[in-house]
Amino acid sequence: MRRAAQALGLQPGSALGARGFSVVAWGRNSEGQCGVAAYLPLLLQPREVEAFAGLPVASLAAAKSHSAGVLASGEVLTWGEGSDGKLGLGGTDSAHTPQCVQSLAGRVHVTAAALGRQHTLFLDSSGQAWATGENKEGQCGLGTPLEELARQQRQQWEVGAIMPWSPNAAASGMAAAAGGGGAAAATAQQRAAAAAAAFGGQPSFEQQQFERNVEYFSQNSWQQQYLKPFVAHRERSSQLEAAVSMYDADLRTMVEQQSAWQRFEAAKGRDISIPGLMPGQIATPVRLGRARQGIFNPGVAELAGLDAERIVQLSAGRFMSAAVTAAGEVWTFGGGFNGELGTGASWSPGARRVEGILAQVLKDNGGAIKVTAGGSFCAALTRSGQVVLWGQPRGAEGMAAPPAAALATAAAQPGGGGRRRRGFFPVPRPAGAAAPAASNSSAAAAAGGNGAPAGSSSEKAVSEEIPNMRIQKQGGVLVAEITGLPPMKDVAAGFTHISITDGASVWTVGRQGLEAASGAAGLRWLEPRRVLHRPDDGLASLAAGSFSSAAVTGDGELYLWGTVLSEDASSALLKQSESEGLGHWAYSGTADPAAMEWSGWEGLGGPEPRLVPGLHKVQQVALGTHHALALVA
């Protein structure tokens, strides 16, 4: 046991002397996210993660391509794909077995970890949060000035760093930046052609995301005036550099308190370059602190941010993060182009409280005790057992089209102009009709008891009820409360679904799994559907992956449904690994061929909840996109 702890880089004796549990993993392992010692691209049966043998594991977390485990002694271990520095190990190398985050070991007592797609958050025993990984959307909450985020985006898309996605447009843009014609234009044409060949003539996901961001900026006057020139106009390099220089050391001294981003910039070695680390990526955890909001305002005092709060729970989404404080408030930060920030803003590089009607709904229900981030939405569980959702959850694209009248009334709503967001929160009312009065005290309270607007929105709240759901809209923020069900005890969110439990039953809302869209008409798919009932032993906890859900009973049994890994996906992964030869995946005597043979094991998912055989006395389960971890006694 001592040798195992030393091999992980833990302090001698720090993780010893407490009861240990076994950690098992299954699913996709191409990036090492399962953490097993054998080089296997996938595990179709559970396999023990040997690195945790005899160690007192307190909790587990899983994302798309990396995982984390927190020990009862306060150390945290990460493993899987290391790009963007999201493992917090000081670089971008992947780790196929759990590795201790040395920069936090012995420094803070870590109690929990939350994993996003390309970033990771850690919570310590003092109620402070630490972040590592991708921060170009502000999802690490360091308070990075918006123009600095824009500069990082621009650097990433500079010619030679990331290939342009349109040969003709890219060539003309590069030629203009070079001053036009001649050899410079010819070189630009060649580099653009090489870029198109590299991507097969199709734009990559990141390039498409960039174009969507630019589209959003073009429809918002604030971003159009201040931010878009930094992102889109690459040829104005001299002007851009001059603007960035406005935030030199002399101007920063005008601010009394430094933000977490400024501390990070001051502490890191300017002359040290980490291979593979791009601007806006952090390879070592940094503590969240005071947050500056806004752009080109170096003399404006910073917000206190989460420095003055005690955080009790964290959640990480794709491009954003959320935190619950001891006071029951929800804070969010990062990029939220579908309203998932709950502040009416689409970009918040520093932590901000949710505002307006959402803050009032949470307060009316006793405050939040848990928040969970989905694909483009968030859900919170309150002290009263109410489940509150906000944002624009997707998943109804394949459903039957809503009535034309509903679309017309939605288009006629205030604030409905500009780019249309996809989602399932309708607030129907006749076109031209006055907004109906709010159905509860939340709308009135959100406007302020003395008539002053709450938060940043003075717009009157609009409320509408559909079966099992009360929907309110104010200032671009859509809030839904699930009604008609008993008080809930736990909630978990996937990409397009949530699972909730009252301790005896489990309901799901939304779409889950990779199956084709059903032919359900209208909004029937929004209605909570009870999928599991265990009144005898009860349900202890829930977990959700991108396309799957799981429930642990009071007796330690595990039920799982949705899709962790399909037979087609496993076959494709196996073929891909075989085509790569024996260079990366060595099928040696240490490999277990039986672990890669499809048997339809229940732990890989199914349309309805099924008891997962072979796992007993389960304490906790964590679901990633295509892999799972379980803590068993």
pLDDT, greater one: 401 or 78: 78
Model pLDDT, residue 259 = 52
% of the chain surpassing 90 pLDDT: 45
Q: CA-to-CA distance for 175 and 163, rounded, in angstroms?
A: 15
For 12-27, write each residue's pLDDT tens digit: 333 333 444 699 999 9
Evaluate whether 6 touches 23 at the Cβ level (below 8 Å).
no
Kindly tell me if the per-residue pLDDT of 273 is higher than 80.
no
Kindly tell me if the per-residue pLDDT of 163 is higher than 90.
no
Tokens linked to 261: 């981003």
In terms of Cα–Cα distance, which of 544, 219, 175 is closest to 393?
A: 544
Beta pairing class for 57-62 and 66-71 = antiparallel
Region 526-536: mean pLDDT is 91
Burial of 57 (0-12, 13-18, 19+ CB in 10 A): buried
Task: Give the model's confidence band at 172: pLDDT under 50 very low, under 70 low, under 90 confident, else very high.
Answer: very low
Cα–chain-centroid distance for residue 609?
25
Mean pLDDT value across the chain: 74
DSSP state letters, 546-577: SSEEEEEETTS-EEEEEESS-HHHHHHHHHHH
**Buried b or exposed e, range 597-627, using 16+ CB within 10 angstroms:** eeeebbbbbbeebbebeebeebbbbbbbbbb
Q: CA-to-CA distance for 401 and 403, rounded, in angstroms?
A: 7
Model pLDDT, residue 605 = 93
pTM greater than the 0.75 cutoff: no
Question: Phi then psi for 175, rounded to 5 degrees?
Answer: -65, -40
Model pLDDT, residue 121 = 98
Kindly tell me if the per-residue pLDDT of 398 is higher than 90.
no
Task: Give the model's confidence band at 551: pLDDT under 50 very low, under 70 low, under 90 confident, else very high.
Answer: very high
Residue 446's identity, in one-letter code, is: A
Q: Whose structure tokens read 């520093």?
A: 350
Q: CA-to-CA distance for 540 and 208, rounded, in angstroms?
A: 41
Q: CA-to-CA distance for 302 and 101, rounded, in angstroms?
A: 30
Region 159-180: mean pLDDT is 39
pLDDT, greater one: 279 or 403: 279
Q: How far is CA 267 from CA 173, 352, 480, in A?
A: 36, 25, 43
Task: Give the model's confidence band at 142: pLDDT under 50 very low, under 70 low, under 90 confident, else very high.
Answer: confident
Tokens linked to 475: 């200032």
Q: State the number of CA atoms in the 13 A half-sphere of 15 facing the CB.
A: 34
Least confident of 7-11, 44-48, 332-336, 593-597: 7-11
